[in-house]
Amino acid sequence: MADGQTVTVQSKEGENLLDIAIENDLDIDGFGACEGTLACSTCHLIFEQPIYDQLEEPTDEELDMLDLAFELTDTSRLGCQVCVTKALDGLTVKVPEGVADARDV
């Protein structure tokens, strides 16, 4: 969570991280404002490098949205574009402290 709190949730293989946050009622201010349509950057998450390296490559559309994200890092991804795999079991991600909604630009 943005405040440094750690929350553990269950998920199913194939679910994206935005849907998992919504299904588990995680209270993340502004998270997923476009409901996963790749029209904002509010589901921006930061991964540890070893986990980031296991993810599929981001699309050009995702990279365009990430350019507008708050606290962008080399291991940033949009939660709506990252699907859970068995290799990601035990995954921990960081939620940036602020949200930049690309729809407001």
Using one digit for the tens of pLDDT, what is the confidence trace for 73-95? 999 999 999 999 998 988 889 99
pLDDT at 3 over 70: no
Q: Which residues contact 15 (CB under 8 A, 6 or more apart)?
A: 23, 83, 84
Question: Which residue, among 27, 32, 34, 54, has the nearest Cα to 44 in the 3D structure?
Answer: 32
- Tokens (6 digits) for 57: 């490559």
Q: Is 44 exposed, middle or buried (0-12, 13-18, 19+ CB in 10 A)?
A: buried
pTM of the model: 0.86
Mean per-residue pLDDT, 44-63: 96
